Structure 1
Amino acid sequence: MRTSILKSLKPDIIVEMLKMAVAFENWKKVIETADILYQCVQSIYEERQYHKAMKLPIPHVQLERPLVYYFGLSHLMCGMAHQNQGAYGQAREYIYKYAELGWMEDLEEEGMQVVEEFRFLAKTNLYAVDILSGNIELIEEYVAFLQDNLEEILPGLNTILQAALMYHLDVGDILHTFAEQINEFGSYEDIENVSYYYSYCYHLALYYRKYDRLQEAVGLTVEAMNLADRSGNDGHFKRCTALFESLREWATVEQIGEYRQILMQCLDEYETDRDSIMKKVNQ
């Protein structure tokens, strides 16, 4: 991308675009946007280094975070996108990139804190990629890591459930180990954890279906459906609807009633939105 174009871009706006692409699970767009973010901040960094070498005033660029954060995020998002596409080798390459960002000059204290945060993320995400790519002997070590890092339990269990489905593993004992923490998942309010909790419920429903715990699978599917509706993710909602229909004959009367209520609520919201649009058109 031309330098003149890169200079006109604002990293924090690109970050918002990146988050939107992740929310819609448009992994191709995530990779494209993350690459633009990387080029943008690389241009800023090179210009700063040039001015520093020439003993010129350092150009000021308005940033909400230290520059190193944007380097790390661009690599993190690319790694996430490749992981979700099953390209674990490529995901691992990006993890190595944000595992060590200390090469940057003039980091200062805040920048060094960001470096440490990405180093930790690299460690936990490398566990996930290695396990999902078939290195299942790491699960025991990963469980010990999660016990020492409670904030990683929700995404960690999601990884373990995906591995269980891929490699036909019984992870019942692991779920029991974290029963106390699992009971707290439903109280999470922030967008990232709601997304992780949806994925956890959905994959646990699939896991229970596989082991003929069908009524429990139905309950988790309804819960995942609620979370998908709450986050406005149509793709997740469709997935849950299909899963519920595959389990309908094992659903209780109450579960079917809750399922119908969610669908009717969606229909009511659609009608309300349509009426609002029509009123604006006719004004």
Structure 2
Amino acid sequence: MKITPTIRAELEQFLQQEGLTLSKFGQIAGMNRGIISSIVTGNKSMSINQLDRITEAMGLPEGRFYDLFIENYIIDHPPNMRRIEPFLYRCAELEKLDAIRRVVGAIMDNLLYSPKLFEIAEGLLAQGRHGAALILYEGVAEAEKYQHSERLAICQYRIFKIQIGNDQEKNFQSALQFEPFVKRLDAIDQLDAFVDLANVYRSLRKWERVEEVAKDLRALGKAQYSIAQSLKREQVKKPLRPLFFYIAFSSSLIGGANYEQGNYELALQAAYESVDLEWVKETDKETKHWKNLFQEWGETNVCLSKLMAGNRKVLPAYADLITRTKDEILPGLWNIMIAANRYSMDVDDILNRFECEISNLHDHTKIQTNDQQNINNQLVGVLSELAEYCLSRGQYEKGVRFLLDGMRKSIIINDERSILRYRIIVERYQKFVLTEAKTEYHNLESYARRLSY
């Protein structure tokens, strides 16, 4: 069928070709004859529901006329949100993201439509339609970029969270774009935003930035906890976690940043602070849950700080601690292997103990979580340390296997720091690994050269 300028013309041509009366077509489409007649004569616009019925009755794919709908009823017409809103939801349902972009581009010259588009974006986000919501948030953010509004800050927060994925370089750029907007959020939203931002910087091993964000989180958390204690009624808006969490978590972040930078005494001090929770007055179930977790994490971090300082005696205790929670095994193994390579520790007994977990390391990439960027970072890290450990001890077959797995994963997540780490390992042990790893090594070299341009 030849495309004509209007949906009305398409419908007229179809009726003529099929020899259908308005009444007969109305029966097929489930619409009365009067509505069909008004659409054909151009006396009435149509809703997206009516368009979908007409499209189905014509035997055409869903969304076949959406571009024409935009041309006929949105572009160069005063925006009618009663028509646009259901159209955007339907486009999101059918993954017609280009159509959504056209609508946003057509109406966002006028700031009056920002509140409604923001509301629609929030609705789409709640439905899990992140791609569609992202387009609307970006449209509102662009329209309001000079407004310094809280809505602009929320849009930037939503954009940041939606964009976080497997590509570490993109994650870094998203974090940098969002960070200037954090303190424009209201205080409660800031708490969770600081946590999200710190987690991204943590996955990127940007420890100075982690510490800066953690200090902001601590100050805000203490202020909000004090306010909550002084109020005689519950606050209307609450953060995702109990208020004390943000204070204790900030200590945990600062401790992690310090030991990663080799400041083990400061790391140990922060670990002790994160478990000193006698000041917490709440006794509800959720508070007890988080207090128990911080107690476990704190014990682990105390051991870890000592281990990273070269204390071999705490290794058995640390290995026991990381088995208490499944999520701690991957980062725990990474820490053990870092210490093993740094201080030439023999950890073969630990590797035998965790043989099953090591064999199934890639299971961590099969289930997507909100903390996937940290899991990816931990995976490429532990694989590089395992490769270094095995190769340095003459276990070449195992070492090369870990090396290849880690090289592939570091390219997938676009982690420049890890890519450099693998290049160094290959160059150090090249006479043992180049034959087996030749193809992957050249792929890594080619990719690294592209990153440097």
2:271 to 73, 92, 95: 95
Residue aligning to 2:375:
193
- Secondary structure of 1:170's aligned partner: coil
Residue aligning to 1:172:
348
Match status 1:16 vs 2:162: no
Structure-2 separation of matches of 1:255 and 1:79: 38
2:229 to 49, 57, 82: 49
- Secondary structure of 1:236's aligned partner: helix
2:316 to 140, 147, 156: 140
1:123 to 265, 277, 299: 299
Identity between Structure 1 and Structure 2 (%): 22
| 1:191-224 CA-partner distances (Å, limit 9, x unpaired) | 3333222221111222123223345433322322
Match status 1:74 vs 2:256: no
Residue aligning to 1:243:
425
Contact 1:68–1:114 (8 Å) recurs in 2: no
Match status 1:203 vs 2:385: yes
In structure 2, do the counterparts of structure 1 residues 6 and 39 end up closer, same or farther at CA, with 3 Å as the change threshold?
A: farther
In structure 2, do the counterparts of structure 1 residues 5 and 150 end up closer, same or farther at CA, with 3 Å as the change threshold?
A: closer
2:205 to 25, 29, 32: 25
Structure-1 separation of matches of 2:320 and 2:195: 33
In structure 2, do the counterparts of structure 1 residues 36 and 180 end up closer, same or farther at CA, with 3 Å as the change threshold?
A: same
Structure-2 separation of matches of 1:106 and 1:149: 25
Amino acid at match of 1:239: R
In structure 2, do the counterparts of structure 1 residues 241 and 88 end up closer, same or farther at CA, with 3 Å as the change threshold?
A: same
| 1:235-275 CA-partner distances (Å, limit 9, x unpaired) | 1122212222222222254521123235556778999xxxx
Contact 1:6–1:39 (8 Å) recurs in 2: no
Contact 1:154–1:197 (8 Å) recurs in 2: yes
Amino acid at match of 2:196: E
Match status 1:260 vs 2:427: no
Residues paired across the two proteins, number: 265
Contact 2:408–2:440 (8 Å) recurs in 1: no
- Secondary structure of 1:64's aligned partner: coil
User: Structure 1 segments of 4 or more deviating over 4 A?
Assistant: 3-9, 146-151, 262-271
Structure-1 separation of matches of 2:325 and 2:227: 39
Unmatched runs of 5 consecutive residues or more in structure 2:
1-182, 366-371
Structure-2 separation of matches of 1:263 and 1:147: 37
**1:5, CA displacement in angstroms?**
10
Residue aligning to 2:394:
212
In structure 2, do the counterparts of structure 1 residues 258 and 31 end up closer, same or farther at CA, with 3 Å as the change threshold?
A: same
Unmatched runs of 5 consecutive residues or more in structure 1:
272-283
In structure 2, do the counterparts of structure 1 residues 138 and 240 end up closer, same or farther at CA, with 3 Å as the change threshold?
A: same
- Secondary structure of 1:128's aligned partner: helix
In structure 2, do the counterparts of structure 1 residues 11 and 240 end up closer, same or farther at CA, with 3 Å as the change threshold?
A: same
Structure-2 separation of matches of 1:108 and 1:139: 35
Contact 2:334–2:378 (8 Å) recurs in 1: yes
**1:230, CA displacement in angstroms?**
2.8
Structure-2 separation of matches of 1:177 and 1:21: 32
TM-score where L is the length of structure 2? 0.53
In structure 2, do the counterparts of structure 1 residues 146 and 13 end up closer, same or farther at CA, with 3 Å as the change threshold?
A: closer
| 1:67-111 CA-partner distances (Å, limit 9, x unpaired) | 122112211111110010111110111111111324222352112
Contact 2:255–2:270 (8 Å) recurs in 1: yes
In structure 2, do the counterparts of structure 1 residues 269 and 31 end up closer, same or farther at CA, with 3 Å as the change threshold?
A: closer
**RMSD over equivalenced CA pairs, Å:** 2.9
Larger helix fraction of residues: 1
Answer with 1 or 2: which has the greater Rg: 2
Structure-2 separation of matches of 1:237 and 1:269: 10
